[in-house]
Amino acid sequence: GHARGVGALRVRGRGDHRGRPPGTPLTWAAGTVHQVDEGGALTFEAGTPVPTPEGRPATDERWLTPLAGDGDHQLLGIYSLIMATFLGTMGLPHVLGRFYTNPDGRAARRSAVIVLALLGMFYVLVTLLGALSRFYTPQLLVSGGTDAAVLLLPTAVLGSGAAGAVLGGIVAAGAWAAFLSTSSGLLVSLAGVLSTDVLPGRSVADMRINAFRFATVLAGAAPIALATVVTQLDFAETVALAFAVAASTFCPLLVLGVWWRGLTAAGAIWGMVTGGVLSAGAVSASLAGAAESGWLGVLLYRPAIVSVPAAFAVMIVVSLATRKTRPANTDALLLRLHAPERLGLFRDRVERDDSAINPAGPV
């Protein structure tokens, strides 16, 4: 790749560098661009500044500027990423699954506040991690191994002694726990949908359990097969793409389904299909390497700024066109949904449901 010197550097290279023999001392002047062949290695003298890859901010002041760098349409990419992360959080299946275990609406709202607080702390820690990594492990920008910053930062800050090793081990264990918990939550959510809404089966408990097991195998086979094919992929890019898909599908459904009484089943379905096709198509094109330079390439890597408004628009337009199919009890359902539990609306509905099963009265 190409690297730009930020100060006069004395380096020694392994491998040919512009026809020079291995180990020949080189001097890189400030502001000059040099090319390092693939597989080559450079050794810098202690205390020298780390060179910056071409196209990246060369100073900390420029690094803190949102539009620093030489990329095209950076503001478009930033706003699209913000939209994906903010709106995609509410659409992640394993986050939605947390609300299924709440006994009532008050507990669900309390869970929502706690989750929002934890997510806020998470994003603050991500920013702090980026700043510390920029200061303590800037060499990762040259080697391209920025995903390793989480594991290398403890030893870089505390040294290679016992404290750094212990903290690094804790970080590694936490990372694996996060990976496994997230993947298991997604797997359970997807397998539940497949076993109840897609796969045929009766309501017998044993048959439903077998269907869920089979659905779990199907749900895990696709990502495993994809992981064996895609071996070199920036983890940060995959997270942004996953959030874009969630923001383009479940977010419009939740927002309009909870706050707009005009949403119909047809509008919800077509809106989710539109957002899913646009975002998933962009993700597939990005993973296949079809992204080009310019605004089209930015939208393929950051599709939320297009797919999210498109999903909202399709849901609204189709719902207005099919307004006659709106259920007659929509207003009553939304009233129960938004009314406090102390009014007893939800309790009355439960008692009526119980009395329908047991005419003698609620149990």
Q: pLDDT of the chain along its 363 residues, tens only?
A: 444 444 455 555 544 455 556 556 667 676 677 776 666 667 777 667 777 777 677 676 777 776 765 667 788 888 998 899 889 888 777 677 677 677 777 788 788 788 878 888 888 888 888 888 888 887 787 777 777 888 888 888 888 778 888 888 888 888 888 888 778 877 887 888 888 777 776 555 556 778 888 888 888 888 888 777 765 566 666 777 888 988 999 899 989 988 898 999 999 999 999 999 999 888 778 777 666 667 777 888 889 999 999 999 999 999 999 998 888 888 888 887 777 777 666 554 444 444 444 444 444
Residue 37 sits in the same domain as residue 9: yes
* Residue 177 within any structural domain of the chain: no
* Residue 115 within any structural domain of the chain: no
Residue 324 sits in the same domain as residue 274: yes
With CA atoms as reference, report the closest residue to 9 among 133, 139, 137. 139
Give the span between the Cα atoms of 312 and 325, in whole angstroms.
Answer: 19
Residue 247 sits in the same domain as residue 306: yes
With CA atoms as reference, report the closest residue to 198 among 179, 215, 185, 176. 215
Give the span between the Cα atoms of 353 and 361, in whole angstroms.
Answer: 10
Query: Looking at residue 39, what is its pLDDT?
Result: 65
Partners of 14 in beta bridges: 41
Residue 311 sits in the same domain as residue 236: yes
Residue 247 sits in the same domain as residue 292: yes
* Residue 51 within any structural domain of the chain: yes
Residue 320 sits in the same domain as residue 253: yes
Half-sphere exposure of 234 (CA within 13 A, CB side): 12
Query: Looking at residue 256, what is its pLDDT?
Result: 92
Q: What is the DSSP letter of 196?
A: I
Structural domain for 323, as ranges: 71-92+232-340
Query: Looking at residue 275, what is its pLDDT?
Result: 94
How many domains is the chain partitioned into structurally? 2
Cα angle: 108, vertex 111, 113; to 5 degrees: 115
Tokens of 166: 């212990």
Contact between 172 and 80 under an 8 Å Cβ cutoff? The reply is no
Q: What is the DSSP letter of 288?
A: T
The H or E element that residue 120 is part of is: helix 105-136
Query: Looking at residue 359, what is its pLDDT?
Result: 47
* Residue 213 within any structural domain of the chain: no
Give the span between the Cα atoms of 81 and 284, in whole angstroms.
Answer: 17
Residue 238 sits in the same domain as residue 321: yes
Contact between 300 and 286 under an 8 Å Cβ cutoff? The reply is yes
Query: Looking at residue 315, what is its pLDDT?
Result: 96
Q: What is the DSSP letter of 100?
A: G
The H or E element that residue 69 is part of is: none
Pairing of strands 41-44, 9-14: antiparallel
* Residue 327 within any structural domain of the chain: yes
* Residue 223 within any structural domain of the chain: no
* Residue 345 within any structural domain of the chain: no
Query: How far is C-alpha 134 from the geometric centre of its chain's CA atoms?
Result: 22
Helices (H), 149-294: 149-158, 162-193, 205-229, 235-259, 265-287
**Residue 9: helix, strand or coil by DSSP?**
strand
Phi-psi group of 30: left, alpha or beta (phi > 0 → left; psi -120 to 50 → alpha; rest → beta): beta
Query: How far is C-alpha 113 from the geometric centre of its chain's CA atoms?
Result: 20
CA distances from 202 to 28, 134, 206, 209 (A): 72, 56, 9, 11
Give the span between the Cα atoms of 177 and 345, in whole angstroms.
Answer: 41
Return the sign of the alpha-carbon dihedral for residues 185, 187, 191, 193: positive
* Residue 226 within any structural domain of the chain: no
Query: Looking at residue 9, what is its pLDDT?
Result: 53
With CA atoms as reference, report the closest residue to 276 among 219, 315, 238, 231. 315
Query: Looking at residue 331, what is its pLDDT?
Result: 83
The H or E element that residue 50 is part of is: none
Give the span between the Cα atoms of 212 and 189, in whole angstroms.
Answer: 11
